[in-house]
Structure 1
Amino acid sequence: MAGQSSTHGIEMYPERVVKTYTSWSRGEHQREWRALTLLAEYAPDLAPLPLEAHLDVEPPVVVMSRLDGVPLRGHAITSEQIAAMAEAITTLHEAVPSTVLADVAPSPWNPRVAVAKALRMRAERPDLGSDPVVVQAYAAGVEWITASRLEDLAGATVSPTLGLSDGNLANYLWDGKRVRLVDWEDSGRSDRAFELAEVIEHLSRVDGTFDGPALLSHIDLTTGEGTRVLEFRRLFAFSWMCMLGPDGPFSSRNPHGTLKRQAERLLELL
């Protein structure tokens, strides 16, 4: 969600991947190594295995095992794949004990940051053009944000989970039987409802076909979590729409008509 600029270079070998960071000011290399190390202990078949790290050199380097599979982004994601996604996400969210997570830094992309971003976009009133559907959606989004208690959404006390904190479907690899997860540089202690909404509403879904509600149908949520997932989905849908205007950072990166589709998505969620 924070952007699509490359933060690393990748060298692929038959059994391993060497990741060299071109940007590490947010501790991307340390976050990735910490997540891979934790998952190697608590969920060893979910992510690449950590093989070697050079965290104190410039640029930092992390070496990990190479996973089989193809990214789900850009495809019509099947019901079998959605079920496998749900299994992988559930494993991630349940694997690491809360006592261990207490020592893990929060993800840099988190509820407080997401709420602040949406509020800033409301205040900036981005140029979204004159399409009536888009105009209607923006007005409805602003009305919802103004009426909602977003500070409560951001500040709620929840059971922590380890989060990938990047909903890009390119991070979900399908090997024909299961889904495994890659790219952990934004990972950290997170909120399950936030993480689920992030993957369901990530704009990478427009490159293919992805039934987000079907994913949720495989996950056992409490009533409170279900409500929070919906609120975060609305928040993300509004923010993505604001970034798709003619001068927005994602306008040129997506197919013609994406802004209107995103406006329709927001109206549906509201």
Structure 2
Amino acid sequence: MEAALEAHPPMIVMSRLPGRVLRGEHATGEQLRAVAAALNRLHRLPPQVVEETEPAAWGPAAAVAKTRALAGRRPDLGSDPLVHEAFRAGIACLASTAPDTLTTNPLPPVLGLADGNHANYLWDDHEGRVRLLDWEDSGRNDRAFELGEVTEHISRVDVALDAERLLAHLDLAPGEGERVRDFRRLIALGWFLQLGPDGPATPHNPVGTLKRQAERILRLLG
């Protein structure tokens, strides 16, 4: 609302947004429509605005490279047979050419948050709308990747948004649905590889998340 960045000390005045974040609760049909409306609105920014924006650091190429690097370290995923089945399926997917095709975007880029954490979606009961928070990693990005982030971010285990119902409310271009599906697989696999007994994502998630993520991987990979 107001800023004096060259002052001593610098000063910024911000407003407070009403509402509550959607992480940790069952999203209703109304809330899912509001999330979709917020994403559609963001992704319709004029091309000249998007082109003037720096690319997001977290995007397709970074995700492919990170997920392959995680898999290459052969992380400790415990002894559950289902988890190891998901690991084998994931390794096969990463060894194929499918992930490499995702690094070239056939569609115009969009401005995106580059962070699918459901805590970044603020529901306003009074206005019936969702506002997007946490723009520190935002930038020019692939829309299919952004939608994969929203639907497969590990925050979904805290009572998830229904991915299929959300995607049904979004304006997808012809062929974009397949790219969203492939990004969902990649992003879900990236989280899976960080959920072993000593994995970096384990301390922040409920007990049993690794097995639930293994089931998710097998379902997404078909």
Q: What is the TM-score normalised by the length of structure 2?
A: 0.93
Residue matched to 1:238: 189
1:62 offset after TM fit, Å? 5.2
Residue matched to 1:204: 155
Q: Residues 256, 57 of structure 1: CA spacing in aligned structure 2 closer, same or farther, 3 A cutoff? A: farther
Question: 2:87 matched to 1:138?
Answer: yes
Once the two structures are superposed, what CA deviation does each residue of 1:217-250 show, in whole Å capped at 9, x if it has no partner?
Answer: 0012123211110000000111100000011101
1:63, 1:105 → 2: CA distance? 25
CA RMSD of aligned residues (A): 1.8
2:5, 2:66 → 1: CA distance? 33
Residue matched to 1:213: 164
Any conservation in 2 of the 1:51–1:65 contact (CA below 8 Å)? no
1:228 is aligned, of 179, 193, 196, to: 179
Any conservation in 2 of the 1:137–1:267 contact (CA below 8 Å)? yes
The residue type paired with residue 131 of structure 1 is D
Once the two structures are superposed, what CA deviation does each residue of 1:173-202 show, in whole Å capped at 9, x if it has no partner?
Answer: 011111011110000011111101101000
Gaps of 5+ in 2: none
The residue type paired with residue 112 of structure 1 is A
The residue type paired with residue 19 of structure 2 is G
1:68 is aligned, of 18, 26, 32, to: 18
Percent identity between matched residues is 53
Q: Residues 141, 57 of structure 1: CA spacing in aligned structure 2 closer, same or farther, 3 A cutoff? A: farther
Gaps of 5+ in 1: 1-49
2:60, 2:142 → 1: CA distance? 8
Q: What is the TM-score normalised by the length of structure 1?
A: 0.77
Question: 2:79 matched to 1:114?
Answer: no
1:57, 1:188 → 2: CA distance? 30
1:165, 1:53 → 2: CA distance? 28
